[in-house]
Amino acid sequence: MACLAYIEFIFECGVQLPGKNLAKLEIKDVSKYFEVVGRPSNSTFKSSRSSRSSHLTYPSRSSNPLPASSFSSSLEDESPDGLMAAVENVRLSIEEGQFVCFVGPSGCGKSTLLNIIAGLDKPTIGEVILNGRRVTEPGPDRIMVFQDNALFPWLKVIDNVQFGLKVAGVEKKKRHEISMHYLDMMQLTKFAEAYTYQLSGGMKQRVSLARALVMDPEILLMDEPFAALDSQTRDLLLVELQLIWAKTRKTILFVTHNISESVCLGDRVVVFTNRPGRVKKEVLIDYRRPRLTEDNNLYNYQRQVLDELKTEIKTSRKIEEM
C-alpha cells in the first residue's frame, strides 16, 4: 500500500508537468498494400495506376488519391493487381501527451502502421503528419522500442543508452549526464557499467526504454515491448511505464495483443479489424491513474475491448482455416 501511495504521489506531482517535446499526430486515410510474390497480377490494373505511382508499392501522392475502395475485389484484403492490403483507410488524430494503445487480431497491420509512423515504411495511400510536418523518413523525433530490445551486447549499459547521443555529436560529459539521468529514472544506475548480457529480460527492456528517452523524442513508439517477459516482470514494468509517462508526458503509441495491458496503460484503446486493418472502434479509458491490471474497476473497459475483438478474431481464424 505504501508503494501504491508513492506512485499516486508521483502522478499528482508529475502529470501536470509537460515535457519539452510534445507531439500532435495525424494519420490521414493511410492504406498500405504489399506485392505478394508468386501471385499472378493484373497488368491492366497496374497500368491504370502508373500515372499515380513511381513504384508498385509506393505511389506518389496527388490532390485526388485513388480511394482505398478502388482496390477491393472478391477477396477483401486483395487488390485486382494481386496486392495484399495490410491496413486500409486508417484515420486517427492523437493529441500531445496522450497514451494510445493499438489492439487487434494477429496480422492486422498494427506493426505496419507503427513502422509507417516511424518513417521505416511508406504508405501506399495517405499520409502521416507530426506537428504539421509530413513524415517521410525516420527521425529523432520518433523513437521505436521493439519487442526485441536490440541492444548491443558488446557495449556496457551506459554506452548502449548514450549511443544515439554519441551519433548525434553530443559532447561526452553532457551525454553521460543525460544518460545517467534516465538510468536513474529506470533504477539502473548501479548497472551502468554492466554488460547487457548480464541483465534480466526486464532490465534489458528498461535499458532500451532509457536509450529511447535520452533522445528526447516527440513521440515514443512501442511495438509489443513486454510480450516476451514473464507476467511478474511485465506487471512491474506496466507500473514503471506509467510513472515514466507521468514524468515526461511524452506521446506514446503502444502496440499489444494483451487486452488488460492496453486498458491498464492507455488513455485510448484503438481496436483494429482483421486484415486489412481498419479502425473498428476507440475505447476511452476514463479512469484514475496509476492503474494495476488486477483492478476490478477496469473490467468493464476490458469487456468493451474484448467484445469488439471477438468477431475479428473469429474471422481471422476462419481465413486461416481456408
Give the Cα separation of 190 and 187 in Å (integer). Answer: 8
Which 8-state DSSP code applies to residue 132?
T
The count of other CB atoms within 10 Å of the CB of residue 123 is: 27
Residue ranges per domain, the chain? 2-141+217-321, 152-211
For β-strands 142-145 and 219-223, DSSP reports them as parallel
Q: Which of 230, 224, 163 is nearest to 203 (CA)?
A: 230
Amino acid at 166: K
Average per-residue pLDDT for the chain: 81
Residue 91 in this model has a pLDDT that exceeds 80: yes
| Size of the chain in residues | 322
Alpha helices in the chain (DSSP H): 2-14, 43-49, 110-118, 157-161, 163-167, 172-185, 201-213, 231-248, 259-265, 299-321
How does residue 316 score in pLDDT terms, banded at 50, 70 and 90? low
- Residue 140 has what pLDDT? 86
Residue 167 in this model has a pLDDT that exceeds 60: yes
46-59 burial, b if ≥16 CB within 10 A, otherwise e?
beebeeeeeebeeb
- Residue 18 has what pLDDT? 37
Residue 183 in this model has a pLDDT that exceeds 60: yes
Which 8-state DSSP code applies to residue 58?
-
Give the Cα separation of 266 and 100 in Å (integer). Answer: 5
Which percentage of the chain shows pLDDT scores above 70? 76
pLDDT tens digit sequence for 96-109: 999 999 999 988 99
Contact 90, 31 (CB under 8 A): yes
The residues, any chain, with a CB within 8 Å of residue 6's CB and separated by 6 or more, are none
Q: Which of 291, 285, 226 is nearest to 254 (CA)?
A: 226
- Residue 39 has what pLDDT? 57
- Residue 214 has what pLDDT? 92
The count of other CB atoms within 10 Å of the CB of residue 119 is: 17
Give the Cα separation of 246 and 12 in Å (integer). Answer: 9
- Region 165-193: what's the mean pLDDT? 93
For β-strands 83-94 and 125-130, DSSP reports them as unpaired
pLDDT tens digit sequence for 244-290: 899 888 999 999 999 999 999 999 999 999 988 999 999 999 999 88
DSSP secondary structure string for all residues of 187-216: T-GGGTTSBGGGS-HHHHHHHHHHHHHTT-
Q: Which CATH class is domain 2-141+217-321?
A: alpha beta
How does residue 149 score in pLDDT terms, banded at 50, 70 and 90? confident
Give the Cα separation of 216 and 45 in Å (integer). Answer: 45
